[in-house]
Structure 1
Amino acid sequence: MDISVVVPTLNGREELAGCLDALTEQVPDAEVIVVNGPSADGTTGMIRDRDDVSILVEIADRSVTVARNAGIDRATGDVIALVHQSLSVESGWADAVRDGLSGTAQAITGPTHQQLWAGMTTETEETRTIAGRDVTYFNPGNVAFDAEVLEALDGFDEYLNVGSARDFAHRMAASEYGVDWSTKMCVSREFEADGGIAETDWNWKYRSLAYRLVKNYNVRPTVVRRLLSHAIGDAKDALVDVVRGETTPSQWLGNGQDVFGGVGSGIVDGVRARVTDRTLRRNPNGRSARADRAVTVYDWR
């Protein structure tokens, strides 16, 4: 079983170096493909100075979805894994991948161990039932697929700047592809307390959510209920921030407008995507839609 590992990166040279070191140690026979967005931190030079990267793909897009597809385009393994630039695979990771994909599952995923001051935290398996369909989500920074599944579903939907991994999980479920969770397929990350808090792009969060729900399930009561449930929950949480004085009422109202605008755009585009691709793969913006992702490719195989 040959493993290709795709590592999307953007301005993360130091984190990426640790990720690559771990892959070299734990999966020395893997085909390692780094897909570099328009980084400005010397990532390209660092990678070219190493001898453990098989392919470096330079892209102009800042989208992780495009980076994933660009890496998949050049992977030759019968197993293709995605690993986040800030994560390091742990001992036993490769065996867990091979064992997990030797059975009936077409994808295998596992937890991220994150070091906190008070100890270690990790995730657990996440599943949902939507419109009678059982969906198992995967850790997008630590997952491995049977390459035939990525081919059958045409990779990731590049309409989505965020949420393309969850969309892929919905599409896998529609085609009855299985996702297994293995506690032995571990990656680790040391928690950085001074990294700041990323602001939520409310428009894109709800545009993505509405798009993938409508695209995969059509406009139905279940979809409307899920959208409302998410919006009401976020509105309540944000209102607490207003009461605490951490944000202003005008900001709260502005975020609400972004949510409604995102939902509207997502529904319209989701319907259009559903009509455009009526197959179970539901991917009108997949790998086959374009061939110009790579700006430069360094192939050292």
Structure 2
Amino acid sequence: MDLSVVIPTLNGRDRLAACLDGVAAHAPDAEVVVVNGPSTDGTTGMIRERDDVDVLVEVSTRTGNVARNAGLEVATGDVIAFLQYDLVVEPTWLAGLSDGLDDAPVVTGPTHRTLDGGMTTEESERRQIGSREVTYFNGGNVAFRRPVLDALDGFDEYLEAGGDRDAAHRLAGLDYEVAWRPEMCVRQEYSADGGTIADRGVEFRALTYRLVKNYGIRPAAATGTTRRALRDALVAAGDVLRGDLQPTEWLATGRAVVTGVARGAADGLVARLRDRSPVRNPHGISDRSDRAVARYDWR
């Protein structure tokens, strides 16, 4: 197996250093490609001082799928792994990856997150949508055989969020299996800091877009979006009743969700018409060639 590890990063110098240390320790023969940008915390200087990064790609777009595609463009391995910059591979990671690829062309595993009260982990997630059984994967800890990524035409760069979920739908549409290996585990060494506040408009635009693009206007697409919106609205209404959320904030969030759903549905229909093939990726890696603004290759 000729393995390339692609690591997108943005303003995460110290966490990226720990990630790179883990790859060097537990997958020392892998080609390492870091896609940076646009960071302002000295990430570029840190990488250029190391001897375990083969290629550094600087990009100007702060979108995960653009970074993934930019890394895929320069990676040379016949197996491409995508790793999140703030995750550290465990000693069993490489063995789990290799074992999973014996059973399926895509393999993923859990993330162990250290919190103040202990540690959390994840389980494999599958869902039946229409006639498809979709196996979701962790976009920050997944490996593909290269022909699969070629068949997918990479990731859909329209999406600001949920690019891995979209790829999972398209994998199912192309009849590719996804293996789950608990041994292919990574850990998040930094304690949770409360996270970031989700932009509900962006979130629901991405959700509606990928469902409409992959399934069209049909119950399989509408049911999931409606259920999610109603659940979030009820939770927020409870917060209003308890005084934890202002009614004006609830209404503003509701408007953002409605606007996001409408725009996602329209853009999803356009995307479905642009790419009528099972690939369903009009904004894929073949759509453009100007992702990188700079490239440093030490291979």
Shorter-chain TM-score category?
over 0.9
Which residue pairs with 1:2 in the alignment? 2
The answer to whether 1:98 aligns with 2:115 is: no
* Cα separation, 2, equivalents of 1:247 and 1:124: 32
Which residue pairs with 2:29 in the alignment? 29
Which residue pairs with 1:222 in the alignment? 220
Q: Secondary structure at the match of 1:53?
A: coil
The answer to whether 1:73 aligns with 2:73 is: yes
Measured after TM superposition, the shift of residue 99 of structure 1 is 1.4
Letter of the structure 1 residue corresponding to residue 278 of structure 2: L
Q: Is the 8 A contact 2:35 2:59 kept in 1?
A: yes
Aligned pair partner of 1:196 in 186, 194, 197: 194
Identity %: 55
Moved more, 80-89 or 109-118: 109-118
Q: Secondary structure at the match of 1:135?
A: strand
The answer to whether 1:286 aligns with 2:284 is: yes
* Cα separation, 1, equivalents of 2:188 and 2:67: 21
Aligned pair partner of 2:268 in 267, 270, 287: 270
Measured after TM superposition, the shift of residue 245 of structure 1 is 1.6
Which residue pairs with 1:119 in the alignment? 118
Query: Any stretches of 5+ residues in structure 1 without a counterpart?
Result: none
Matches within 5 A, 1:135-154: 135-154=134-153
Q: Secondary structure at the match of 1:160?
A: coil
Measured after TM superposition, the shift of residue 190 of structure 1 is 2.2
Per the alignment, do residues 190 and 163 of structure 1 end up closer, same or farther by CA in structure 2, a change over 3 Å counting? same
Q: Secondary structure at the match of 1:35?
A: strand
- Number of residue-to-residue matches in the alignment: 299
Q: Secondary structure at the match of 1:114?
A: strand
Which residue pairs with 1:249 in the alignment? 247
C-alpha offsets along residues 34-86 of structure 1, whole Å, 9 cap, x if unaligned? 00011000000000000000000000011111000000011110100000000
Letter of the structure 2 residue corresponding to residue 32 of structure 1: V
C-alpha offsets along residues 158-197 of structure 1, whole Å, 9 cap, x if unaligned? 000001110000000000001010000010112424x233
Q: Is the 8 A contact 2:88 2:189 kept in 1?
A: no
Moved more, 92-101 or 130-139: 92-101
Which residue pairs with 1:63 in the alignment? 63
Which residue pairs with 1:47 in the alignment? 47
